Each structure stands twice: as structure tokens, then as C-alpha cells.
Structure 1
């Protein structure tokens, strides 16, 4: 499933924020719920229009948004 099939942009809706399939639920809303500890079941119960496959996209977005790459270099100079 491609995220473009789930996340839509409609001018004037929710201050032009990306929403789920044209609904008034923003990507930010779902990511905040996931980051706040809501389970997939709780989100699906609160938002009956959402489908479980749609939430898989948000887990990926959440991981991408919170992942960082840590590069550690160690240089040793001879005296």
C-alpha cells in the first residue's frame, strides 16, 4: 500500500495539513496519538472511518520521524 493512497492534501481543509483519505483527521493527529501511547485498537475504536492497513503507514511515518542516525568517529593521534 502506497502512502499516497491514504494521505491526501486538500486546500482549506485543516489548515492545509495532510489528512487521511480526505477526512478531517490529520497525519499529525494520528502520529500524536501513537506517540502518546494509544494502541491501534484504541485509535480504530475512536475513529470508525479508519482501517487497520491505514495505520501501518503511520507506524512507518512515526519511525521515520523519530529515527536518527548517530555517527561516532574516533580519531587517535600519535604523540
Structure 2
């Protein structure tokens, strides 16, 4: 996967959730708007400081996250 340069993580911004370029716009918010039927253009109109590449990277980040596999470390002794 190519390096995502527009997705940032900062514990001081939105509690460390993945955000767009350090702004208080989370990847989840962008994805939620797309999932609820908003077009890319509508999102860009509502948030003029976003760029089309921000939406592209949000989708790429989401696709990467769903492919992650959680590996159990084992059970704890009773």
C-alpha cells in the first residue's frame, strides 16, 4: 500500500482518531457522509478546505483497515 500522507493521528486532535491533514475532520466523518449518500462534490462544497485527494485517501485508509487481521495473543490463565 502506498503511504497515506493526508491521514494524521494526533492524541490532541479528536482524541487521536484518524483525521484529514491534522484538521478536526475525521476519516469516519467523511466515510459516513459518503455512506449516507452525499456525493464527493457535496462534501467538498460543505467543507471547502477539503480536497478531492482527502476523500480518496479516506477511502484508501478504510480499505486498508478492513483488511487488517486481529491475531489473538492467547488466553489468560484462570
Please give the TM-score of this superposition, normalised by the length of structure 1. 0.69
C-alpha RMSD over aligned residues: 2.1
Q: List structure 1 segments (4+ residues) > 4 angstroms apart after TM superposition.
A: none
* Equivalent runs, 1:46-65 vs 2, <5 Å: 46-62=46-62, 64=63
Gapped runs of 5+ residues in structure 1? 68-79
Q: Which blocks of at least 5 consecutive residues in structure 2 are unaligned?
A: 68-78
- Taking the aligned partners of 2:34 and 2:46, their CA distance within structure 1 comes to 13
Pairs within 5 Å for 1:31-46: 31-46=31-46
- TM-score, normalization: structure 2? 0.70
Higher relative CO (Cα under 8 Å, sequence separation at least 6) belongs to 2
Q: Which has the larger radius of gyration?
A: 1
1:8·1:19 contact (CA, 8 Å) conserved in 2?
Answer: yes
